[in-house]
């Protein structure tokens, strides 16, 4: 699944491609197909020597992709598998709290994963431009309802029903770095019940 940036707005995050960078250590945070980006980086030039100082925190993707076995075989200094981001989060926060400047951060996989890891790194004091990101896999979105503030994970359709307050929400490209979420706005506020058919926009 690849993302298209066509016709979007400036606040919509954009992603690049992971490349090895010099540093005292390397922390990869990935979910699902993000594993492929890590494998590709280590298959390329300039990365072999990094393995001894590499740590990988990995979780399966929202569509169930789990490439733990392949990643573990890579031979990084530390490989850690978590069931999901909220389980991995305390470990990441502890890592950020004890790490030193020079540690390189590589985030890859779904936008929800990248955004949340980025938010936690920014909270740890890192500039938002400091981490490398590469989108891989599912395009499902993490969306915050602007009305009840509840966050719905893995949104596939547009519009969708808020999992907290039940409003019909239209998925915008407007993105909050602080929340690591896109914005969802009620679509039938004027004419309750007038909801356009749901379209599978994210897969």
Closest approach of another protein to the CB of residue 49, in Å: 14
Q: Does 21 bind another protein (CB under 8 A)?
A: yes
- Count of positions on this chain that bind another protein (CB under 8 A): 21
Neighbour count for residue 31 (Cβ, 10 Å): 31
Q: Which is nearer to another protein, 99 or 146 (CB)?
A: 99
Which range of residues in 36-44, 84-92, 100-108, 195-203 is near another protein by CB under 8 A? 100-108
Report the run of H or E that residue 29 belongs to, with start and end.
strand 25-31
Contact between 97 and another protein (CB under 8 A)?
yes
Separation of alpha carbons 118 and 122, rounded Å? 6
Q: Is 129 in the site for another protein (CB under 8 A)?
A: yes
Among the residue ranges 11-19, 122-130, 154-162, 167-175, the one whose residues contact another protein (CB under 8 A): 122-130
- Taking CA atoms, 137 is separated from 66, 107, 114, 140, in Å, by 11, 13, 12, 9
Measured at the CA of 169, the angle between CA 161 and CA 137, to 5 degrees, comes to: 75
Contacts to another protein from residues 24-53, by CB under 8 A: 24
Angle in degrees, CA 116, 118, 124, rounded to 5? 110
Q: Is 108 in the site for another protein (CB under 8 A)?
A: no
- Sites of contact with another protein (CB under 8 A): 21-24, 96-104, 122, 124-130
């Amino acid at each position: 699944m690849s993302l298209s940036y066509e016709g979007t707005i400036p606040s919509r995050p954009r992603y690049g491609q992971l490349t090895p960078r010099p540093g005292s250590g390397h922390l990869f945070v990935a979910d699902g197909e993000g594993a492929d980006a890590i494998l590709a980086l280590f298959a390329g030039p300039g990365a072999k020597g990094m393995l001894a100082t590499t740590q990988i925190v990995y979780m399966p993707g929202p569509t169930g992709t789990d490439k733990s076995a392949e990643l573990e075989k890579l031979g990084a200094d530390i490989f850690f598998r978590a069931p999901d981001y909220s389980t991995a989060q305390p470990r990441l926060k502890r890592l950020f709290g004890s790490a030193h400047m020079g540690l390189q951060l590589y985030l890859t996989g779904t936008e929800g994963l990248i955004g949340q890891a980025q938010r936690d790194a920014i909270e740890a004091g890192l500039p938002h431009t400091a981490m490398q990101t590469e989108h891989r896999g599912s395009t499902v979105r993490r969306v915050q309802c602007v009305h009840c503030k509840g966050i719905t994970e893995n949104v596939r359709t547009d519009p969708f029903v808020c999992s907290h307050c039940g409003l019909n929400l239209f998925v915008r490209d407007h993105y909050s770095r602080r929340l690591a979420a896109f914005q969802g706005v009620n679509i039938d506020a004027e004419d309750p019940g007038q909801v356009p058919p749901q379209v599978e926009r994210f897969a």
